[in-house]
């Protein structure tokens, strides 16, 4: 597998003074084999399980440096996010790990009390084989932004629930699933007046 050194998470914690930092990590157990979980969630270009289809892709799927452009509707409007694969690695048991980052930053947006921006994003997804019909998944998102931003826990939990439903519809959900749960850490901007 192709692999590059990861961006240290501390780089996102040290966001520019005018931005806020937030990390959300969601955990779950999907009652399906890791190879089946990988078939549904492991293709960087196939994100139907998130309710999305990339607007554009470049490079081979799951290769370091490949990009996708996602047209994302948010409470702030609709935006194109260009994301690049930083890591994709898998094991024979179906376990896999992937990471990607936002390329086109910052992305400005308008809100009730003034301008804001999506200023950077790093996403990791890990699926770990636990047994023949159980896979632990961990989805983390680290973002820098200005203005109000929220919704990552709900988005992650919805995505994992969708993947579980797809596997159930395929008859591959045979083990015990544990409902997704999330933790979030936020560090607010120190200098709001500079917006």
Q: pLDDT per residue over 42-76, tens digit each? A: 999 999 999 999 999 999 999 999 999 998 877 66
Write out 89-131 in H/E/C secondary structure: EECCCCCEEEEEEECCCCEEEEECCEEEEEEEEEEEEEEEEEE
Q: pLDDT per residue over 127-151, tens digit each? A: 999 999 999 999 999 988 877 666 7
* Exposed / middle / buried, residue 116 (Cβ in 10 Å: 0-12, 13-18, 19+): buried
Q: Which domains does the chain have, with CATH numbers?
A: 9-189 (3.30.530.20)
- For residue 48, CA distances in Å to 22, 53, 178 come to 25, 6, 22
Secondary structure (3-state) at 163: helix
């Amino acid at each position: 597998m192709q692999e590059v050194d990861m961006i240290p998470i501390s780089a996102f914690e040290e966001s520019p003074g005018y931005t806020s930092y937030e990390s959300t990590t969601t955990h779950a157990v999907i009652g399906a084999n890791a190879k089946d979980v990988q078939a549904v969630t492991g293709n960087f270009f196939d994100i139907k399980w998130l309710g999305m289809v990339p607007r554009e892709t470049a490079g081979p799927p799951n290769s370091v440096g490949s990009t996708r452009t996602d047209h994302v509707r948010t409470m702030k409007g609709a935006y194109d996010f260009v994301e690049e694969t930083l890591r994709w690695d898998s094991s024979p048991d179906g376990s896999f790990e992937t990471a990607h980052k936002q390329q086109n930053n910052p992305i400005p947006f308008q809100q009730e009390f003034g301008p804001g921006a999506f200023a950077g994003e790093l996403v990791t997804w890990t699926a770990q084989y636990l047994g023949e019909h159980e896979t632990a998944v961990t989805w983390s998102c680290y973002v820098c932004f200005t203005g109000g931003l929220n919704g990552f826990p709900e988005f992650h939990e919805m995505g994992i629930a969708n993947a579980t439903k797809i596997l159930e519809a395929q008859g591959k959900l045979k083990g015990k699933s544990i409902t997704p749960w999330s933790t979030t850490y936020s560090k607010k901007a120190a200098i709001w007046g500079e917006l």
